Amino acid sequence: MMLEKISSNKMFGGVQEHFQHHAESLKCQMRFAIYLPEGASKHAPVPVLYWLSGLTCTDENFVQKSGGQRMASALGIAIVCPDTSPRGVGIADDENQSYDLGLGAGFYINATEKPWSTHYKMYDYIVNELPVLIAANFPVSNKKSISGHSMGGHGALTIALKNPDKYCSVSAFSPIANPINSPWGQKAFSAYLGSDKTLWQQHDASVLMKASTQHVPALVDQGLADDFLQEQLQPESLISAALSNNYPLILNQHQGYDHSYFFIASFIESHLCFHAKHLGQS
């Protein structure tokens, strides 16, 4: 698989780069960002944290706003940031250009309904295709964890819960914790998966956590001044699921913090340290 380098910048001793490539699972060109800490080489491969961004975001948001590269460099962890949906001419998108469906809103699932099913296979891309591409082209080990924000927090949690053998740990900021009961989730799942709600449940972190038999250590941070807290995010559902199943979930709630990257930047270092512990880097 051919990679085209878009940019490369020295940062905290390591290098922040952006690439594009043809994604077989999505049938389009895709971009991703990767931060490689100082010292990463084929002789000293490093573990990887995959970061999944939220609605309207791209591969750029975490890179430019989180400041996470400083701690990633200190801990010796690579960070991979994919885009949030397929993009390009001829790719299905919401005709009303809604921010919460279509472009920038892939929800990290495999769409089964037309017109979305041709390109919107974000689950396959994140779980299967992208890790193979990263392993083949960069000095990374076979250890990986996953994290994300909002829609990306939903993606990180559900992907880890569905693939406990693939990830050492999972974390999320302000995740859509119970999308089958959230307006965002209901809109996306109806369009991408159709009316069969048993399919929806396969991509709901609260449902999956309640039924989980193999646990991946999980960390969630939620701001209590988040405008989307009650209607869209519903962290209480995740807490209830974890308690019912004795799931190893740490969920921190923070007074005064909202849904923005100001919140993420405030606590990203604690998330990276959490993952480093489970990746064997601390």
Catalytic residue (one of 18, 149, 154, 259): 259
166: Cβ contacts below 8 Å, ≥ 6 apart:
127, 144, 160
The DSSP line for 58-124 is -SSHHHHHT-THHHHHHHT-EEEEE-SS--STT----TT--TTSBTTB-TTSB--STTGGGT-BHHH
The DSSP line for 187-236 is HHHHHHH-S-HHHHHTT-HHHHHHH-SS---EEEEEETT-TTIIIII-HH
198: Cβ contacts below 8 Å, ≥ 6 apart:
none
Catalytic residue (one of 25, 226, 275, 278): 226
DSSP 3-state of 21: strand
Strand partners, 138: none
Catalytic status, residue 259: yes
Tokens 């460099």 — which residue?
Answer: 73
Catalytic status, residue 174: no
Catalytic residue (one of 150, 174, 212, 237): 150
Catalytic status, residue 226: yes
Query: Count of alpha carbons within 13 Å of 77, Cβ hemisphere only?
Result: 30
Task: Please give the backbone phi and psi of residue 113, each rounded to the nearest 5 degrees, phi first.
Answer: -100, 140
Active site residues: 150, 226, 259
